[in-house]
Structure 1
Amino acid sequence: MSYLDLPRVIFDGDFQADVSTVNNDVRNFDIDTFDPGSADRAWNPTGSAAFRLLNCRVRDAPGEREEAGAKEDPVLTAVIAGSVDRVSAKIVDLDPQWQLSSALWGLRVELRADENLILAGDFEPASFRDIWFPPVFGTQRPRPTARFQSVLHNIVWARPGVSRIADRLREASTGGKLSIRLMTFAFNGNVSSPRFTIGSVVGAIGPYRPDEPHTFVTGRRFAPIVDQNGTNSAGVNYFDGVVRSGKQLVVDLANALPILDDKGTVVDQGELRFGVLPDSATDQGATVVEGVGFTALGDPLPYRDPGWLLDTGGIATIAIPPRVDIAARPLALLRANAADHTVVVRETLDGWLVRADKHIHRAESGDTLKTRVHVARFGRPAPRAEVTPLLLGPAKVGPLPPTGTPATAFTAERPERTDADGQTTLRVRCSDPGTPRGYIDGQIYQMVLGIRGVDVDRLRHNPLEPITALVFDDYEIPAGPTWLDDVQPIFKQYANLYPIMSERLIRLDDYEAVREHRAILQFAFSRDIGDPNAMPVTRDLSRAKRRMILNWLALPDLPVGTGRPRPVSKPDTRVAEAVEDDTVDPTDSKGQFARAYLRSAGAIERTEP
């Protein structure tokens, strides 16, 4: 069960992601060499990191309108937004050296009809998955898309009887949670546009069952071939589907098909339909004939119909004909030609899926990271599978210090074989990386998951979605912290990178301003990391340093100190020069980062512990 199951609520509208962009350049973290003019070169230097759902309304509740009285159900006219009694949620990257996992923090989702609450829940913090930068189609340039999947918890419901749809949704879910997916597209980074920092979103809310992953669907995984340069020639992104009762294939194509505008217009790629291939030998790009090379499932996809994406949320249900066996045969998306079909994209080879539910981590020295790993084959749990974590070696992306060193600070344990539900736990021991990046706290480590006896390349992992951790440096809290010696170097960095603080609230690098606003800083630095009011907004400060700041703020005289000499960070002379990429919108820093990373990915070594 997930948002792909029924009952399901589909909605669409806008979102705002007011991201800061001074911190996109890792060199701006060096307070000794920071150039104040770098803010002028950033396309949104005063970004607040706010994330908001705007103008969102329910489009449909599939299968519910036909029921007696359902047309009057308040859910069908409900608006969807964040909480009316808290500050906006925040969207931030893990690190300037890993910008491909932006996470939502502190989001509350509320459905209201005529100001009456139907349901509300807290969005468990999660990073997007399967971000995509589609290729150019002739003269058409689709915009990047990404998918946030998580669960809603701490749910508040309207009283029974107010909404039949809400009542059915509550009955179908367990554990006090709901499954939710947001797909964002058509983000506008043009500072002169009235839609600056605004994009479009389609969403789905459905049931949740215990032991399901929170951030992806355990089902049939469709994966394009990606070459050594990271190029996806399929014209279709990674996507997932589930088989329901052996009679229907339900797939989420919202983040799979290239989208041209904020209205959800999908690039016309001809007639597309699903089919089942006879064996695993038939791969992407192959020409096949219906009845011989594949068996058709259902009707052609109506993705070219006006409003299809917004009306359906990108979710399609395909009938499986009687007596068609898909239990151990690969499914594929095919394009019709004059007399045959072309395989556009297909399931992973041999039907394998191995994914970690929580793939983005912030860790302290001495922590042991834990995440649940799910292994399936052709959509069914794979018991007794042996998962093999593969640590990725140092990566050099543009003018950045290398990541992944020292490898000894990130040690994965060999997981136990998967249980009857195809699940196991991955544990990684983290130790002090020793400030390998100089002016940036901690280090970035990454790994991918393999299966013993299976070539990892056959799993067709998304190269932009490794398990990634920011491991903070070890830090000994001083007994008597002072402004100049301990607090100011940290606050100076945040003042440089996030000028909105100085413009609208407080100059963090000014002692007197900090003294004046001591109370609000104590409040913000003491918040839980999931609280939308938490500081730092970027969640890139270790627990020990936050505790040091709070200790200093609690001292009655806020001691200034003497300003003991600090080691001056020096640029790493081994780094590669930045490579400009004029095929990507210059305001799309993630596209720039992704292409630079993929150019280097072929040289990254994978090491088994």
Structure 2
Amino acid sequence: MSYLSYPRINFYGRFFTDPSTVNNDPTHYEVDNTVPSPWQNPKGLHKFQLQDCSIVSTIGKDGEIQDPILGLPFITTDKPSAAKIADIDVYQQGVPTIYGMEVSIPISDSISLTGLIDPAVLNQLWWVSVLATRSWQDADYQMDSFGGDMNASGVYQSILRVPFSSWPSDEVSPVLKELKARTLQENGNYLVSIRFVVDGYRNVPEDKQYQTGRITGSLGPVFANEPLYSPGVRILNGRTQDKSDPWHYPMFNNCPFTIDKERKLLIMDLANGICRKNAGGPPVDLGTLTALIKPEHSDPILIGEVDYLEYCFNTYSHIVQLPLSEDQITVLNSSALSLKISRTDIGPSEIFVEDIKPVNIEIEVRPIRIEGSPGSVATTKVYVSRLGKPVSGKKLGVQILSVHGNTPGATVPPSNPGNTPQAFGAIDASVTETDSLGFATVSIVVLKDPGFRTPQLDGQLYFINLYDTDFPVPSSVSQSAMISCLVWSDYKVKKNPKWEDVQDILAPYVKLFPGMTEKINLIDFKSFEIFAKNPPWVHMYGPDTPPSHGISAGAIGFFMTRDENDPRYMPVTRDLSKAKRDTVLNFIFNLQKGTATGPNNQES
């Protein structure tokens, strides 16, 4: 909720990212597939960086204000390395996570607001955010028709942690002064809510904006007792999507909104909700867009006209504020919100409407990785609300799906089965009753080894759906209410592994990530040995770099012992289990001692 409050700092520009997609095809994980299709950008390094971003507006308690930070750059620092973006699994490419993203507003040569963003997960991804050129049918997959990265849009929400020492003095900016006064503090940091929407990604090498897309975002305060990585507010549902609709009927996605009772405002976030005319372009023409309240037993109540135009998207991150009367607030507290268009030739006029009957379910951390040994446990929080208020004493239902090709939400064709017989019943999940603040804890426990899908595709992916038990089990749930859980196979750490053991573990990365292999061929023993022993950490990474896993030298060991949220962590895709990683590190430790079993069982 907090980024919808005040003060709000809006930024706009472009982003760069270069993920390799060789690992997007399950058939590439077959051992016999030694020369996989390059797909797009095979040598990509999974960087995520801001380009040409700047502060475009600042919003205070009473509306837009002029502030000295207006027009300043909003940048990624690339420290200690460029942020990285990675999917959780080949069968789930809809929740990519950005790790180690440090951002900054440089105010002068010596003053900046700089902080590190908690791992940010894509949410509310939709692939039809661009008006089709011919139809919405799957068969008509074209540049601006159904499907494709250019036609996708999604939202990231996370927390920016700014050290006390990095916050500029109060004289620098009235907006930053107010933000500091209103936001939470934790462990020597000011917490800032950050939300950004990405769309229009250009993945065609001939495009002059290749590997970049559009980004619009907002910074705001963090308040106590609210979710950190989800809006935690009311939701407008986009008009029902039907691929059989005529090509000129635009589609719509879900949008969060809140009521600021203190300032008597309706605040709506439309940035990820309205279909665009073209990839990364302006919203489609809707005529006049109007907000109304829909009381259950009386006529709709007009609130006012909603600004949906491109200027609002570019300048205010498409966060719209409308004044409310006391009477309107009273009615809206128990009634649905609706947005209608004046055009009658592009489908039903009601393009957004709130469903106030079921509770709103928002899981805080939605991608989860867990070791596959029986008894392993992972947890996350879920926030439950209705009409913008936390719901206490609520018990949610839990549905566990072992993912295969035709599982709803899977990102591969049904021809790929994606699971093994032992995957069924390998995990259990439960959720506690919500507390007085609307929060509950989801626990996932491993019951048995889930196996592996191929020798090079470790573990099993599960979708864990949460739902309101007052209604039938849904055929699909909102992305916000679904956990994507990758459970590794039950691999026993080898204390004295052979070189062949290490080769088996690292072979998929050599095949699937050519960009990394260009730097280090991890299954060539001589290359591995050189970079497993060199350089000394004290010389390359600084005298304050402590040994880890008994290792204090070697680039491979250094990068494999970084924290998973560190952008230098290897493998960058973060799809290597801890047990297998520890096995590789044990080999490096033995190699440095001269006791490792190298090629052909020779001691090295």
Question: What TM-score range do you get, normalising by the shorter chain?
Answer: 0.7 to 0.9
SS class of match (1:323) = helix
Task: Give 1:45 shift.
Answer: 0.7
Match of 1:520 in 2: 555
Give the aligned residue type for 2:49: R
Q: 1:406 aligns with which of 407, 423, 426?
A: 423
Distance 1:453 1:149, change over 3 A: same
Which of the residues 363, 377, 381 maps onto 1:372? 381
Cα separation, partners in 2 of 1:307 and 1:66, compared to 1, 3 Å: closer
Moved more, 492-501 or 270-279: 270-279
Equivalent residue runs for 1:292-371 within 5 Å: 293-298=299-304, 300-304=305-309, 306-324=310-328, 325-337=331-343, 342-350=349-357, 352-365=359-372, 366-371=375-380
Q: CA deviation at 1:435?
A: 1.9
Match of residue 514 from structure 2: 499
Ranges in structure 2 where 5+ consecutive residues have no aligned partner: 134-143, 406-411, 533-553
Counterpart amino acid of 1:27? T
Name the structure 1 match of 2:464: 447
Post-superposition Cα deviations, 1:309-341, rounded to whole Å, max 9, x if no partner, equal 111101111222331211111111111257998
Q: 1:367 offset after TM fit, Å?
A: 2.5
SS of 1:3's partner is helix
1:308 Cα offset (Å)? 2.1
Pairing of 1:218-233 with structure 2 (within 5 A):
218-224=232-238, 226=240
Taking the TM superposition and a 5 Å limit, the aligned residue runs for 1:85-484 are: 85-134=79-128, 137=131, 139=133, 143-155=151-163, 156-175=166-185, 176-224=190-238, 226=240, 235-245=251-261, 247-261=264-278, 264-279=281-296, 293-298=299-304, 300-304=305-309, 306-324=310-328, 325-337=331-343, 342-350=349-357, 352-365=359-372, 366-396=375-405, 397-398=412-413, 399-403=415-419, 406-413=423-430, 415-439=431-455, 440-457=457-474, 461-462=477-478, 466-484=482-500
Q: Equivalents in 1 of 2:241, 2:129: separation in Å?
A: 14
* Deviation for aligned residue 1:153: 1.6
Mapped contact 2:12–2:54 kept (Cα < 8 A): yes
Q: What secondary structure does 2:571 align onto?
A: coil
Q: Secondary structure of 1:547's partner? A: helix
Distance 1:353 1:231 in 2: 28
Structure 1 residue runs without a partner (length 5+): 281-291, 565-609
Letter paired with 2:215: V
Question: What is the distance in 2 between the residues matched to 1:43 and 1:562?
Answer: 37
CA separation of 1:229 and 1:561: change in aligned 2, threshold 3 A: farther
Q: Mean alpha-carbon deviation: is it higher for 115-124 or for 229-238? A: 229-238
Give the structure 1 partner of residue 537 of structure 2.
none
Match of 2:54 among 33, 54, 57: 57
Residue 458 of structure 2 aligns with an amino acid whose one-letter code is: D
Following superposition, the deviation at residue 82 of structure 1 comes to 1.2
Residue 583 of structure 1 corresponds to: none
Distance 1:367 1:530, change over 3 A: same
Which residue of the partner structure matches residue 607 of structure 1? none
Cα displacement (A) at 1:191: 0.9
Q: Counterparts of 1:250 and 1:65 in 2: how far apart (Å)?
A: 13
> Do 1:225 and 1:234's aligned partners in 2 also have CA atoms closer than 8 Å?
no
Offset, 1:492: 1.6
CA distance in 1, matches of 2:68, 2:260: 28
Seen in structure 2, the aligned counterparts of structure 1 residues 316 and 65 have a Cα distance that, compared at 3 Å, is: closer
The answer to which of 311-320 and 422-431 deviates more is 422-431
Residue 25 (structure 1) aligns with? 25
Structure 1 residues 226 and 429 mapped into 2: Cα distance closer, same or farther (>3 Å)?
farther
TM-score (norm 1): 0.83
- When residues 135 and 480 of structure 1 are mapped into structure 2, their CA distance, relative to the original with a 3 A threshold, is closer
Task: Indicate conservation of the 8 Å contact 1:264/1:310, yes or no.
Answer: no
Give, in whole Å, the separation in 2 of the partners of 1:539 and 1:563: 30
Measure how far apart 1:356 and its partner are: 1.2
* 2:502 equivalent to 1:487: yes
> Deviation at 1:351?
5.5
Question: What does 1:7-18 correspond to in 2, within 5 Å?
Answer: 7-18=7-18
**Residue 509 of structure 1 aligns to which amino acid in structure 2?**
I
**Percent of matched pairs sharing the same residue:** 26
CA distance in 1 between partners of 2:109 and 2:153 (Å): 31
User: What is the count of residue pairs matched by the alignment?
Assistant: 541
**CA 1:297 to 1:113, structure 2 compared with 1: closer, same or farther past 3 Å?**
same
Distance 1:563 1:216, change over 3 A: farther
Task: Determine the C-alpha separation between the residues in 1 that align with 2:114 and 2:314.
Answer: 22
Q: CA RMSD in A?
A: 2.8
Which secondary structure state, in structure 2, belongs to the residue aligned with residue 91 of structure 1? strand
Q: CA deviation at 1:425?
A: 1.0
Cα deviation for residue 172 of structure 1 reads 0.8
Distance 1:346 1:506 in 2: 53
- Which residue identity is paired with 2:50? L
Q: Distance in 1 between matches of 2:580 and 2:21?
A: 24
| CA distance in structure 1 between the aligned counterparts of 2:351 and 2:362, rounded to whole angstroms | 23
What letter matches 1:314 in structure 2?
Answer: H
Which secondary structure does the structure 2 equivalent of 1:307 belong to?
helix
Q: In the aligned structure 1, how far is the partner of 2:480 from the partner of 2:385?
A: 21
Give the drift of 1:461.
3.1
Aligned-residue offset at 1:436: 3.6
| Equivalent residue letter for 1:159 | S
TM-score by length of 2: 0.84
The answer to whether the 8 Å contact 1:234/1:345 transfers is no
Give the distance between the partners of 2:5 and 2:312, measured in 1 at CA: 19
> 1:214·1:357 contact (CA, 8 Å) conserved in 2?
yes
